[in-house]
Amino acid sequence: MISIDLVEHAAGTREELHMAIEIDYLEGSPVKIVKGGVGYFDIIGDELLTANLEFYASFDEAGAQPDDQIEVHVDDSKTGKETRLPMIAEVTEKADANKVRWVVIKLNGNIEDAAQGLIVI
């Protein structure tokens, strides 16, 4: 749940600064998306505009069981904020219905946080 940035001091020393990237909830959860369809939702949380974030759907909170039938990405047609990020989930026709997924945030290969709430119908 933390990302690390380096802060350089005037003396030339560096210190790690930890910024929490967190999902509080998915607005409209559960977000129901029809097979072969597109769903729109917002992630509510903290530090959501951090650069290089990756998003995906997973069958588990740990993000170890990604669902390759759902693509999750930022909705660039809307303006995001540090505490609210508009998202799009695109579901293929092959996606399993009626199973709850987690939206997972990854930064530099590390899982930052996840929130339950995507369902294919």
3-state secondary structure the chain: CEEEEEEECCCCCEEEEEEECEEEEEECCCEEECCCCEEEEEEEEECCCCCCEEEEEECCCCCCCECCCEEEEECCCCCCECCEEEEEEEECCCCCCCCEEEEEEEECCEEEEEEEEEEEC
Residue 58 lies in a domain: yes
Give the confidence band of 14 by pLDDT, cuts at 50, 70, 90.
Answer: low
Residue 13 lies in a domain: no
Total number of domains in the chain = 1
Q: What is the pLDDT of residues 39-93, one digit of tens each?
A: 999 999 999 999 999 999 999 999 999 999 999 999 999 999 999 999 999 999 9
Residue 41 lies in a domain: yes
pLDDT of residue 4: 42
CATH code, 31: 2.60.40.10
Residue 3 has pLDDT above 50, yes or no: no
Residue 55 lies in a domain: yes
Residues 12-24 have a mean pLDDT of 70
Q: Which domain holds residue 82?
A: 23-120
